[in-house]
Amino acid sequence: MNSLRKLTAPAFIAALAIAFSGCASMPAENPRLAQLDDKLKTAYGDKYVAEYGQGDLTKAGASLAAARVAWRAGREDETQHEIAMTENHLVLGGIHGEQERVKAETIALKDRLDQIRLASRDAALRDANEKVEIYKSDAVIASAAIQNAQAAAQTAEDKNRVDAVVATAAIQNAQAATQSAEDKIAAMKLQLSVYDLKVTALGATLVLHDVMFDTDSAQLRSGSVDRLEPLISYLRAAPGTTVRIEGHTDDTGSVQHNNELSLDRANAVKRALMVSSTVTNTIDTFGSGQSKPIATNATASGREQNRRVEITLQ
């Protein structure tokens, strides 16, 4: 401060001019550096790229900083080199992040498709068709995942052939999972096409209208056991399927009596399914009595429909 006081007015003005001329000589910001800075921020905003391309993003940040220093120092060749290195690191970070995104989507899709074990006849069962529509929606998701994987594979092929192989494998896994789900649906449709089926919150429910009981009886009518054979065959082939059997009655008799009777009816069907020692599925039985009618109890035909058993596959 004392030295400044000793300067004359012309000398002070000259010193300011020299200082401002030094600031004016600083080069303007390179627009490519600004663009790369935005790309780096965007990359860090993507959770997959930020996590799985972290090393590449760190290198990109270092190269970008070096490019900015070189630009300000007027070293054009070094600036262009560091810009190119920054772009390469950003591309590699994007590839690594996209690969992990595809893996995560493929795993989620496979888990979802593995849960699709339900099917129905093509023409007769609207509720089952709604379940198929849900599957179709999942297939659209699978197709989008495949397209994303294909785009990632193309980018990886240009930049890194090894990464392209990984992306292609993810595509094949997604396609295989989709085909497996389609096969499961087709098999269930074929094996259980003889039954009426509805989709509930519990699973796929077979409504066995022809497995009926006489009033106040837990004895299956003659011929009903034969109608269970397609279901028995399906359970043999799918031992991991859990079975829920729920018995129902009409409103003849007391509530307590009907609750006991409906459970007896559910157990009668369970015994019919388990008559073959090759059926090893877990089977639970419930009695709902007269609490869930599907027809009026005011007529004989309505009461006969209410004397039924519903079998849910889970």
- Which residue numbers in the chain have pLDDT < 70? 1-27, 118-120, 122, 124-125, 128-129, 132, 135, 142, 146, 153, 156, 162-167, 174, 177-190, 209-211
pLDDT of residue 185: 52
pLDDT of residue 173: 77
pTM: 0.42
pLDDT of residue 162: 56
**What is the C-alpha to C-alpha distance for residues 309 and 182, in angstroms, rounded to an integer?**
29
pLDDT of residue 174: 66
